[in-house]
Structures are given as C-alpha cells and as structure tokens.
Chain A
Amino acid sequence: MSEAEAVSRFVNDGDTVYAGFTHVSFALTFEIIRQGINNLKVVGASNTLTANFLALAGCCNRIETGYMGGLLYNGPIGEMMRDGRIRYEDYSNLTITLRFMAGALGMPFIPSNTFLGTDYLTTGLAHEFDLRNDRIDDDGNSHPRLHVIDSPFDGKPIALLSPIQPDVALIHVQRADETGNIQAWGPLADTKWAVAASKHIIATAEEIVPTSVIKSQPELTIAPAFRVNAVVHAPWGSHPGPLSGRLMRDRTFFELVGNPFTSWENAESFIADWIMGPKSRAEYVAQYSDRFGEDMLEQQRVTRPLLPERPAEQGWR
C-alpha cells in the first residue's frame, strides 16, 4: 500500500491520532498534510514535531501531550497556543502512557499519583483553551479531565485519569511483513501501549521482510497482523528523526532548510518545499539526495549496529 492510500483510507477529519515519541512516521505525517485532513487531535507522550508540523499546516487544532520540545514557543506554535487556534491539555509522559494502557485494556479509568499536590489539579485542570468539549457525555455534561478520590482500599487521595483510544496510530517501524505484522525495537517509550489502544494502526516500515523473519524473533512484534490496517514500505520514514539501529537524528536538516518552527515564513516555505513538493517518502529522499548529496543522507545511517551476541532461541522437543 502507498502512503497516500493508507492515509486516505484510515485517517479522517476530526480523528484523534497517535504520533510517536521514539518511532515517529514523518512519512505519514507529511502525507496527512498533503491530503489536507483537518481538525485532528494529536495525542502522545512527547509528540513534539509531529503535532507541531500538523498544527503549522492547519491539520491539527488539539494536542494532548506530556512534552512539546524546546524552542518552539516563541514562533508560530506559541502564537497559536496563545490565541486558541491550538487547544491543548498538558499531561506527563507517564500519565499519557497510562491513559493509553487504560484504553488498550478497555478500562474506564486508571489511577496515578503524578498530579497530586500540583497545579494540574487547579489551574491546569480547566483553562480557557482546554478540551472540555471533547469530554461531553450522553447527558451533555462535560467532565473534568481527572478526578481525585480517596482510594476505597487505603483511604488515601489518588487521581483517576481517563482512557485514550486513538482513532489511528501512526508509526514508523524497523520492519514488517506483507501480512501486517510489525516489529519495533529500541527504547519504546509509549509506543507499545499507544498502538495497543488504537482503533486503527498504520505503519511505515524501513524494511519489508518475509514472515519467516518475523517469526524467528516474535518477541519484537508490537502488533500482530490482525490488528494492523496498513503497512507502507517507506525507507527513511522517520527522517529527520531517528530510528533505533538504523538512522540517527539529522541534526543539521532544519538549519539547512530553515527551521520551520521559528517563523511563519519558514513554515510556509518548508511545507511547500519538503511536504507538498515530494509526493511520497521516496520522492522526499530523492529530493534530499539531489539537494545535499547522497553522502549527506548516508551520514544519518547507523554505522555500527549492535547485533545479538547470542540470539534468544525458541524451540520445542
């Protein structure tokens, strides 16, 4: 399947989309922008760049996250957070992941002590640009984003968080097979629980491998084929971000092309040149090679992959 087909089939206006922390698919993010999908809510523990790209392009108007990287707030993103074009709620990396866990397990809430004694319980709980309209129940009541109760077991205060079930998870994985098994490794952050919680899963993969390869290391599978809606072969799909064992973060890219988060002018030029211009990840990579040379691209590749000294055997007798 192509990026264009995967996105047009499984991402819709108004969806809640999960964007990764460690396994980020910029291939799919950019395709969403090309298709002009809008009113998205982006959720994830630290989904900095994806949420911000989608917001800059007018595709995302709501963000729930634990962290949105540095140096972005004096530019267009800060402007949109001040005037309400982006509505947002702050959580933490753990609480977002716990909410995915609740969503994955089909639980109505999950407890956490993270926000006890903090301003998340006061000013952070309801603010002018929060997402109260996303929490209206069948009777028309908007619920607060968390409840502090006394535990029925020990009587101590504890905060209950709501579950998240994203409409669609967007991720970039190291490898997948044609049936849709996806394998990801390296630090996983919130990836596994977010994918597990999502109604649809679409993945770009660095490599498509035979199913026998998947089955030789099944412990690396983060979602089995029946849960996965689309797999797209898209090498360099995480660029300019990293992918464990394959690609390093491209630390000079934004300097070379003009950091899109520092001004609207840069944002518009980046979107025109690097998102709307190339029609697929393959064209994006070709454009990168044309502009900066094949060598520059190769410099992002991991040169000393760490291989298992002794693979973990499976077997029977």
Chain B
Amino acid sequence: MLNINKLAYTYPENQTPVFRDISFSVAQGEVCAILGKNGSGKTTLIKCITGIYKPQGGKIDIVPPVGYVPQKVNFVYDMTVLDTIVMGRYQYIGAFSVPKKSDYETARFCAEKLGITELLDKNFSKLSGGQQQMALIARALTVGSKCIIFDEPCAALDYGNQNHILSVISALKESNTTAVFSTHDPNHVIHVADKVLILRGLDDYLYGTTEEMITDQILSDLYGMQLKKVMVNGRITSVVALYD
C-alpha cells in the first residue's frame, strides 16, 4: 500500500516548487499510473516515492523495501545481466559482504519468471532497450518488495516491447504487488492502470479510477490538443491524438 499526504518538493538549486500539496493513495495490488506532460513532475514524484529525493513537506507511507525500475541505467563499467539483477539483493547482502548462492538463486528465479534466462550471461550494455528494461524489472523483483515503482518504463521502446512491459506490470496484480508507473502516453494507462494521477501543473492534479480520469475532455485539456478515446464493445481500446 502507498499513501501520500500533502507532499511538497522543491529542487534545492531551484526556488520554484515542483509540487506543494499532492495527496493520493494506492491500495495493495493496485496499479497506479502517473500521467502528465513532459516536465510535469512525474519523475520527481517517482524519485520522492523511492526515497531518492527527500521531500520538504508531507508524508509518504510505504512499506520498505521498495523495488525501483529506472527509465534507463548508464553503466560506466559493464556487468553481466545476472550480476545486474543480483544487485537488487543489496539490502540483504549489505555493504561488507558479497552476494551468496541464495541471492543468485533468487536472481535466476526472477529472471525465469520474466522469461529472460537466456540473457543472464550476456553483458547488460549489449542488450536491446526492451531487454534492458526486463533485466531492470527482474532486478526490482529480487528486492522482494510488495511495491514496485517504474519511471517511464515504456519510454523509447517499440510497440511490441511496450506491450510486453505493460503486461509484466499488469501481471504484478496476481502476486498482490502494488505498481506505480509514470508515463506521458494515455495508451499505456488504459490497459493496465486501476488508478490514475494526472499532473496538470503546480498543485493542479486529478486522481481517480482510470474510467473517471481517461476522458476526452481531461486528456485534451492536459495536452492542449484534441484527444479522443476509441471505444470497442463499450471498452476503451486506445486514445488517438487528432493532429491539426
């Protein structure tokens, strides 16, 4: 479960706050999408939830440890996929030890769950964007958390890989794991998310179920252009942008 109450964050080097008063709550096993334009504060909010940034105000209730899947990682020194995944076990390994056999077993188990066993001996930097994302998800799974946070998990991926990543996020519900992910594309939201937080500007946000939030009006206002839901058999199948 994730509870956020009156969260406020301003970058130390910048006087303009990113947000001053955001509150929302995600139940255990729910998937929550954070939707907003570029620069709306999605990544900042994600980093506050994961503890990377220290908010100046408000409260975040989340049961540690938290799994985190960054948008991308930039390895200066390359590692194998297996060694990358096993890093997720750090909280159990500690600063003055090395991963044990059981940590590697957990890493292999998580990789198997995601169907990436054949990648384990490859170097991480040699993987495609989609494969890297899968390896990072496996790393977050090894944390053994009941809550996994994704920062723009589908950014720069092709449709097939986007679909694959979204189905992995959706499958987390089966293990009653809470998932929070950020995106700027409403199409990512409609198939996966139970709840949506829409960041529209400073202290201007909407929060509710996907059905409530994904309306033509809200989306068109958010992006400053016309967007339309496409419904098939009473179910939203996609959101299309009507370019000028």
Chain A bound to chain B: no
Q: A residues within 8 Å of B by Cβ?
A: none
